[in-house]
Amino acid sequence: MASFPRLLIWSAGKPSSRGFKTRETLGEFMAEPRKIIIDTDPGQDDAMAILLALGSPEELDLLGITAVAGNVPLALTEKNARKICELAGRPDVEVFAGASRPLARRLVTAENVHGKTGLNGPDLPEPTMPLQERYAVDFIVETLMCEESGTVTLCPLGPLTNIALALNREPRIAARIREIVLMGGGFFEGGNVTPAAEFNIYVDPHACDVVLRSGVPVVIMPLDVTHKALTTPARIAAFRDLGNRAGVAAAEMLEFFERYDVNKYGGEGGPLHDPCVIAYLLRPELFRGRECNVEVETGSALTMGMTVVDWWGVTDRPKNALVMRDIDAEGYFALLAERLARLP
């Protein structure tokens, strides 16, 4: 498969000023699976990201899943996360419920995209695995304080409310997070819920602001990447043709999910957003981007939630995020099919 040379991520032999790891430094982590927490608001594309992670146990150690309100209310997102774990044959994964509303705004949801349940498409049974009693924000803080510093990556797939609450509750965790790899925002592509804003950031721009100001290394998968990763009929058929339960359910989810974007954009499929986060951890060479300053609009009614990306370096604001712009889409979908094939 074709792959991109990645820009401004790896230095010749030393970390960048923001603390991204060099290949030499990363070597020490490669012997053991990378520890991650997935923070999510499932959502069919969130479900695909969770399945990708669960299909990659040699490389990713999923410490837990934290649910947040976003695509649908919290009562559904925590249930959907458990449904996906059971679909993947992993009822042992711990799922925690977090924030039911944004930091400072009323909750905006997206049933028009994801359906009333958030996982419309396949007929998935009600989960039997328990929801953990601990509050998701407590789980995030306690895990980061207990695990070795610099070993846990946070993977937010929805609004950043839980992550911001954790950073506000215990500021010491910022220095202990390996990095935050998130799906959200857009710049050249614009927004998908308003002309200026992408959904995840629009739902809780104040939480995004907390994350971007935290000093934690941040990697962003914006619409500029995800709109190049389309669920074409052939790619969906490849999932169904796997013949396993996860592959068939994935195809059914995506056939429902893509209808909104096909109607909206007129393309041959819908963008598969959230698995880009997990794919980056597994195959970073599939992506290309650069370090930029990113700030989020929290005051304007017209551009609320807009991610202002200084792609061309026209300001003197410090770089605070590694922003992706391109993806090897064929490689991305091949990876998804390969890992889905490992599941029941």
Q: What is the largest CA-CA distance in the chain?
A: 53
Hey, what amino acid is at 103?
Answer: L
Q: What percent of the chain has pLDDT over 90?
A: 86
pTM: 0.91
For 36, the token pair is 């991650």
Q: How confident is the model at residue 257 (pLDDT cuts 50, 70, 90)?
A: confident
Q: Report whether pLDDT(14) > 90.
A: no
Query: Could you give the CA distance from residue 41 to residue 69 in angstroms, rounded to a whole number?
Result: 6
Q: Report whether pLDDT(128) > 50.
A: yes
Contact 69, 77 (CB under 8 A): yes
Question: What's the chain's average pLDDT?
Answer: 91
Please report where in the chains the tokens 């030393």 appear, as a residue. Answer: 14
pLDDT score for 269: 82
**Which letter does DSSP use for residue 214 in this model?**
S
pLDDT tens digits along 130-178: 999 999 999 999 999 999 999 999 999 999 999 999 999 999 999 999 9
Please report where in the chains the tokens 């995020």 appear, as a residue. Answer: 321
pLDDT score for 259: 65
Domains and CATH numbers, the chain: 23-340 (3.90.245.10)
Nearest to 33 by CA among 8, 9, 59: 59
Q: Report whether pLDDT(315) > 50.
A: yes
pLDDT score for 13: 28
273 is catalytic: yes
Q: Average pLDDT in the 20-32 region?
A: 46
pLDDT tens digits along 263-306: 667 677 889 999 999 999 999 999 999 999 999 999 999 999 99
pLDDT tens digits along 40-76: 999 999 999 999 999 999 999 999 999 999 999 999 9
| Secondary structure (3-state) at 340 | helix
Catalytic option among 114, 206, 227, 273: 273
pLDDT score for 330: 97
Q: Report whether pLDDT(9) > 50.
A: no
